[in-house]
């Protein structure tokens, strides 16, 4: 097996297409896109007639689009010894560290990521390298550096940009757009990782939040906000916010407002239930306690959002590939989302087409349909029966290239 781009037909599969599941199915891949999908006999015959005779058998596996992780930090450095190791990296070490994380992310079946604060604009170089085929990794949509007030959440790192006042935040938005940002990330409240703040600490005034949203929208960029308390979220949603990260303390009325305005939620449930991860990184006790203590309210907030009809999207905050509780962080987050009231079918949507629609990329990604990029993953269990099926991902294709095949022992190294 190799990862060279070759026309092929994926056969002996059960494919979950945009129109529903197709058993005994085949997917014809030409170049980096899907040419046809449907009953195996029909699709294979058309492919052979066109001269594409290479076939890849998947042994009856379920095939879905690759997963999309909407809250990614490939340069994450939390307080503690593990985070200090990343903080101390020079630019060359950091680039290689992020490239390795991108490769590992792709191999676990995450074929698209949304980066929501990365150090030193290294994410743009990584995106260019992946697009050019020099580095294996997922498709990257990125916010560049997140915008934060002086001393605000995450101000300690080079993955944020301190800005104050409406004019300062407008300049901050423009600076990220200039660098190549696909979206804008802003911190509007405190959070778990800030020692001198609380989750409920307001960090921007209304005119500052308005300046971020208006400026970003004028440049055709959506805005997502790190936010915890309901009242701060409500203000931002009224001003046109496109997405909330975390949403630790939502109330029914605020969740209803989000649903009415079309503001999505990336709940990152792992953030308040990852004691093992924090211990591994040597995270200080104050942060562990704040995280775990916020857990019950966080889960209640998530349930409130679901009940109100808020669109929820998959995002782990932990590195997508991180080995955690018997799987990787992306799948574990999806399991929490499904168990928290979403269910497996809606969890599949929250991990594929939902994020892609938010990113404005539904013409190219998110479903197994002709014309879409051939970003596919395969597993033996049915993901419509349980989100835990993704624990068994054993085959990954990205843009028509097979990058992992457990049956043959192949994986991009």
Please tell me the predicted confidence (pLDDT) of residue 296: 96
Positive or negative, the CA dihedral 36, 37, 42, 48 is: positive
CB atoms within 10 A of CB 276: 9
Question: Is it the case that residue 227 has pLDDT exceeding 90?
Answer: yes
Please tell me the predicted confidence (pLDDT) of residue 413: 66
Q: Are residues 388 and 318 in the same domain?
A: no
Question: Is it the case that residue 191 has pLDDT exceeding 80?
Answer: yes
Mean pLDDT of the 123-147 span? 97
Positive or negative, the CA dihedral 27, 28, 33, 34 is: negative
Phi, psi (5° rounding) for residue 393? -55, 125
Partnered with residue 96 across adjacent β-strands are none
- State the DSSP string of 180-198: T-SEEEEE-B--SS-TTS-
Task: Estimate the crossing angle of helix 230-238 against helix 206-218, to 10 degrees.
Answer: 40
What range defines the domain where residue 214 resides? 67-359
Question: Is it the case that residue 1 has pLDDT exceeding 50?
Answer: no
Query: Which SS3 state, helix, strand or coil, does residue 264 take?
Result: strand
Q: How far apart are CA 55 and CA 98, in angstroms?
A: 34
Residues 6+ apart with CB under 8 A from 306: 312, 340, 341, 342
The structural domain count of the chain equals 2
Question: Is it the case that residue 4 has pLDDT exceeding 60?
Answer: no
Mean pLDDT of the 180-199 span? 92
Quick one: pLDDT band at residue 312, thresholds 50, 70, 90?
very high
Quick one: pLDDT band at residue 20, thresholds 50, 70, 90?
confident
Q: Are residues 253 and 212 in the same domain?
A: yes
Edge-to-edge order in the sheet of strand 146-148: 160-162, 146-148, 183-187, 222-229, 243-249, 264-266
CATH code of 389's domain: 2.30.40.10
In a domain, 386, yes or no: yes
pLDDT tens per residue across span 137-160: 999 999 999 999 999 998 988 999
CATH code of 171's domain: 3.20.20.140
Q: Answer yes or no: are the C-beta atoms of 223 and 184 closer than 8 Å.
A: yes
Mean pLDDT of the 304-322 span? 97
Q: Are residues 59 and 74 in the same domain?
A: no
Q: Are residues 335 and 194 in the same domain?
A: yes
Residues 6+ apart with CB under 8 A from 193: 78, 79, 153, 154, 287
Question: Is it the case that residue 5 has pLDDT exceeding 90?
Answer: no
Nearest C-alpha neighbor of 377 from the set 362, 399, 360: 399
**Averaged confidence pLDDT in the chain:** 95
Q: Answer yes or no: are the C-beta atoms of 163 and 147 closer than 8 Å.
A: yes
Query: Which SS3 state, helix, strand or coil, does residue 132 take?
Result: coil
Please tell me the predicted confidence (pLDDT) of residue 112: 98
Please tell me the predicted confidence (pLDDT) of residue 3: 54
Mean pLDDT of the 282-293 span? 90
Please tell me the predicted confidence (pLDDT) of residue 77: 86
Q: Which two tokens stand for residue 144?
A: 């560049």
User: In which element (H, E) is residue 165 found?
Assistant: helix 165-179
In a domain, 1, yes or no: no
Q: Are residues 148 and 234 in the same domain?
A: yes
Residue that finishes a domain, picked among 340, 359, 378 = 359
Q: Are residues 32 and 100 in the same domain?
A: no
Q: Which residue has the higher pLDDT, 194 or 256?
A: 256
Residues 6+ apart with CB under 8 A from 233: 188, 225, 227, 241, 244, 247, 250, 254, 258
In a domain, 125, yes or no: yes
Q: Are residues 236 and 250 in the same domain?
A: yes
297-332 burial, b for 16+ CB within 10 Å, e for fewer? ebbebbebbbebebbbbbbbbbbbbbebeebbbbbb
Mean pLDDT of the 85-105 span? 94
In a domain, 31, yes or no: yes
Q: How far apart are CA 246 and CA 334, in angstroms?
A: 14
In a domain, 3, yes or no: no
In a domain, 247, yes or no: yes
Quick one: pLDDT band at residue 49, thresholds 50, 70, 90?
very high
The gap between the terminal CA atoms of the chain, to the nearest Å, is 13
pLDDT tens per residue across span 342-396: 999 999 999 999 999 999 999 999 999 999 999 999 999 999 999 999 999 999 9
Q: Are residues 274 and 221 in the same domain?
A: yes
In a domain, 112, yes or no: yes
Q: How large is the C-alpha radius of gyration of the chain? A: 21
Q: Are residues 196 and 95 in the same domain?
A: yes
* CA 396 and chain centroid, separation: 17
Mean pLDDT of the 298-317 span? 98
Q: Are residues 177 and 36 in the same domain?
A: no
Partnered with residue 397 across adjacent β-strands are 376, 402
Q: Are residues 271 and 379 in the same domain?
A: no
In a domain, 393, yes or no: yes
Q: Indicate the range of 35-49, 75-89, 207-221, 297-311 predicted with least confidence.
A: 75-89
Q: Are residues 379 and 400 in the same domain?
A: yes
Positive or negative, the CA dihedral 322, 409, 314, 399 is: positive
Quick one: pLDDT band at residue 6, thresholds 50, 70, 90?
confident
């Amino acid at each position: 097996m190799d990862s060279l781009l070759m026309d092929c037909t994926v056969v002996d599969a059960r494919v979950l297409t945009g129109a529903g599941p197709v058993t005994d199915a085949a997917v014809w891949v030409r170049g980096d896109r899907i040419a046809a999908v449907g009953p195996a006999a029909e699709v294979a015959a058309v492919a052979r007639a066109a001269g594409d005779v290479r076939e890849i058998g998947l042994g009856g596996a379920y095939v879905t689009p690759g997963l999309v992780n909407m809250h990614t930090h490939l340069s994450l450095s939390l307080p503690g010894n593990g985070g200090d190791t990343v903080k101390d990296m020079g630019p060359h070490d950091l680039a290689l560290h992020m490239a390795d994380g991108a490769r590992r992310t792709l191999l676990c079946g995450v074929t698209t990521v949304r980066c929501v604060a990365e150090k030193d604009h290294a994410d743009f170089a990584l995106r260019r390298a992946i697009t050019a085929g020099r580095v294996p990794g997922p498709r990257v949509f990125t916010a560049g550096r997140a915008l934060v007030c002086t001393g605000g959440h995450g101000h300690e790192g080079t993955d944020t940009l301190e800005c104050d006042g409406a004019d300062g935040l407008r300049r901050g938005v423009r600076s990220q757009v200039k660098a190549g940002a696909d979206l804008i990330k802003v911190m509007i409240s405190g959070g778990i990782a800030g020692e001198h703040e609380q989750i409920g600490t307001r960090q921007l005034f209304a005119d500052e939040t308005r300046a971020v949203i208006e400026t970003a929208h004028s440049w055709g960029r959506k805005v997502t906000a790190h936010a915890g308390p309901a009242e701060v979220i409500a203000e931002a949603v009224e001003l046109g916010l496109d997405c909330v990260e975390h949403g630790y303390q939502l109330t029914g009325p605020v969740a209803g407002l989000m649903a009415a305005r079309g503001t999505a939620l990336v709940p990152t449930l792992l953030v308040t239930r990852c004691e093992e991860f924090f211990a591994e990184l040597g995270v200080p006790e104050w942060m562990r306690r704040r995280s775990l203590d916020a857990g019950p309210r966080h889960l209640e907030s998530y349930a409130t959002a679901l009940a109100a009809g808020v669109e929820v999207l998959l995002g782990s905050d932990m590195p997508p590939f991180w080995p955690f509780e018997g799987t990787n962080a992306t799948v574990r987050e999806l399991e929490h989302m499904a168990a928290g009231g979403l269910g497996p079918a809606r969890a599949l949507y929250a991990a594929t087409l939902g994020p892609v629609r938010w990113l404005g990329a539904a013409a190219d990604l998110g479903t197994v349909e002709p014309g879409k990029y051939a970003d596919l993953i395969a597993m033996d269990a049915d993901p419509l029966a349980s989100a835990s099926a993704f624990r068994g991902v054993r085959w990954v294709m990205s843009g028509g290239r097979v990058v992992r095949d457990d049956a043959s022992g192949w994986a991009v190294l």
